[in-house]
Amino acid sequence: MLTTLLSFAFVLGVLIFVHELGHFVTAKMVGIRVETFSLGFPPRAFGFKYGDTDYCISWLPLGGYVKMAGMIDESLDDQVTGAPWEYASKPVWQRVLVISAGSMMNFITAILILGGIAYSSGIGDMAAGALVSETLPETPASAVGILPEDVIISIDEQRVETAQDLIQIVNRNAGNQLAIRWERQGQILESKITPELDTDRDVGLIGIKVGTKVLYRDAGLLECIQYGAINSYKLIVLTAGALKMIITGEESFRDSVGGPIIIAKLAGESARRGFEALLSFTAFISLNLAFFNMLPFPVLDGGHLVMLLIEGVMRKPIPVKATLMVQKIGMAFLLALMIFILFNDISRWNQ
Q: What is the pLDDT of residues 179-200, one digit of tens each?
A: 999 999 889 999 999 999 988 8
Residue 13 banded pLDDT, cuts 50, 70, 90:
confident
Nearest to 165 by CA among 145, 175, 180, 176: 180
Candidates 3.40.50.620, 3.40.1170.20, 3.30.70.260, 2.30.42.10; correct CATH number of 128-212? 2.30.42.10
Nearest to 102 by CA among 9, 7, 12, 27: 27
Nearest to 21 by CA among 93, 105, 133: 105
pLDDT at residue 4, rounded to an integer: 86
Whole-angstrom CA distances from 274 to 267, 296, 297, 320 are: 11, 36, 36, 50
First-last CA distance in the chain: 17
Q: How far apart are CA 71 and CA 5, in angstroms?
A: 34
pLDDT at residue 227, rounded to an integer: 93
Calculate what percentage of the chain has a pLDDT beyond 90: 52
The alpha carbon dihedral of 36, 37, 38, 41 has a sign of positive
The one-character DSSP state at 87 is G
Q: What is the pLDDT of residues 152-165, one digit of tens each?
A: 999 999 999 888 89
pLDDT at residue 107, rounded to an integer: 96
Calculate what percentage of the chain has a pLDDT beyond 70: 97
pLDDT at residue 78, rounded to an integer: 64
Q: What is the pLDDT of residues 302-336, one digit of tens each?
A: 988 999 999 888 888 888 788 888 888 888 888 88
Contacts of 265 (CB under 8 A, 6+ apart): 4, 349
Could you tell me if 105 and 25 are in contact, meaning their C-beta atoms sit under 8 angstroms apart?
no
Q: How far apart are CA 52 and CA 33, in angstroms?
A: 7
Q: How far apart are CA 214 and CA 74, in angstroms?
A: 45
Q: What is the pLDDT of residues 136-152, one digit of tens each?
A: 999 999 999 999 999 99
pLDDT at residue 169, rounded to an integer: 94
pLDDT at residue 77, rounded to an integer: 64
pLDDT at residue 70, rounded to an integer: 83
214 has a pLDDT exceeding 90: no
The one-character DSSP state at 65 is E
Q: CA angle, corner 78, sides to 77 and 84, nearest 5?
A: 105
Q: How far apart are CA 236 and CA 333, in angstroms?
A: 25
pLDDT at residue 217, rounded to an integer: 87
Catalytic-labelled residue, pool 20, 161, 183, 190: 20
3-state secondary structure of 102: helix
Q: For 98-102, 153-157, 258-262, which range has the lowest pLDDT when averaged over its residues?
A: 258-262
Within the chain, residue ranges assigned H as helices are: 2-29, 92-121, 140-144, 163-171, 221-248, 253-256, 260-273, 275-293, 301-314, 320-348
Q: How far apart are CA 167 and CA 209, in angstroms?
A: 10
Residue 236 phi/psi, 5-degree rounding, is -65, -45
Q: Which residues of 26-62 are buried (b: 16+ CB within 10 A; e: fewer)?
A: bbeeeebbbbbbbbbbeeeeebeeeeebbebebeebe
249 φ/ψ sector (left φ>0, alpha ψ -120 to 50, else beta): left
pLDDT at residue 154, rounded to an integer: 94
Domain ranges (residues) in the chain: 2-32+91-121+241-348, 128-212
3-state secondary structure of 26: helix
Residue 76 banded pLDDT, cuts 50, 70, 90:
low
For the segment 62-78, the average pLDDT, to the nearest whole number, is 77
Q: Is 20 a catalytic residue?
A: yes
DSSP bridge pairs for 217:
123
Could you tell me if 197 and 183 are in contact, meaning their C-beta atoms sit under 8 angstroms apart?
no
Rounded to the nearest 10 degrees, what angle do helices 221-248 and 275-293 cross at?
60
Q: How far apart are CA 197 and CA 208, in angstroms?
A: 14
For the segment 281-302, the average pLDDT, to the nearest whole number, is 91
44 has a pLDDT exceeding 70: yes
